[in-house]
A = this chain, B = another copy of it.
């Protein structure tokens, strides 16, 4: 059991469903839009973005095979992206937290290759790609920005590949926890205490482990005083040890 106070659920905007929020004043814009645009250009961008999609847990944002039209910035909550194998087995390809962008896989063949499902109540900003494309032709720094966003998605997926290349289960789980931790601190949330938005089953699927193994590793890390676990609540007690484990140290 963890005896410290419960973690208050934090939202990323004053009101996560406030439709009046604009990119200019969004708390997340340093993450999803680190732009050097003029104020009027931000306004033009702002005008094409739609913010009318609150999702409940389990809702699909889009499905693999749907026609590609938009990319989506996560504003609050969390989602998972997954592909369906030929036989019907799902493989989670990533978890996306506020400030991160999903749907960029759909551009290649004009249809999404992943389905994206809300892990909890979530709100997103829809960015119609056609209009973004047009605007990018007029705003060089916006074009560059989207090239960079896609590049960042590539590097992050390479980090996942690196994570999955680790041989043992402990290293993979440690890496996942560290990843969530650092993404939280980027949003000025605690790097040491947070709620996992996904189930053990999702973690296992993502990391190529069974749910039982995930559970056992959590228990083992807890017994070793590296982390505290209470359901979805995680407290990192020994960041250094966790980093060592992520590297594969015994």
A residues engaging B (CB < 8 A)? 81, 83, 85-87, 89, 91-94, 104-109, 113-114, 133, 136-137, 140, 143-144, 146-148, 150-155, 157-162, 164-167, 205-208, 247-248
Chain B nearest CB from A148 CB (Å) reads 5
Does A158 lie within 8 Å of B157, measured CB to CB? yes
Does B155 lie within 8 Å of A154, measured CB to CB? no
A interface SS class: helix
Which residues in B have their C-beta under 8 angstroms from that of A86?
A: 247
Once bound together, how far apart are the Cα atoms of A143 and B155, in whole Å? Answer: 21
Once bound together, how far apart are the Cα atoms of A247 and B159, in whole Å? Answer: 24
Chain B nearest CB from A215 CB (Å) reads 17
Best-surrounded residue of A105, A155, A247 (most CB of chain B within 10 A): A155
Once bound together, how far apart are the Cα atoms of A158 and B207, in whole Å? Answer: 13
Other-chain contact of A151, B93, B107, B160 (Cβ < 8 Å): B107
Which residues in B have their C-beta under 8 angstroms from that of A114?
A: 158
Q: List 26 A-B contacts (CB under 8 A).
A: A81-B158, A85-B162, A85-B247, A86-B247, A89-B248, A91-B162, A91-B165, A105-B154, A106-B151, A107-B147, A107-B148, A107-B150, A108-B151, A114-B158, A133-B140, A133-B144, A133-B147, A143-B143, A150-B154, A153-B154, A154-B154, A157-B160, A160-B161, A164-B165, A165-B205, A166-B208
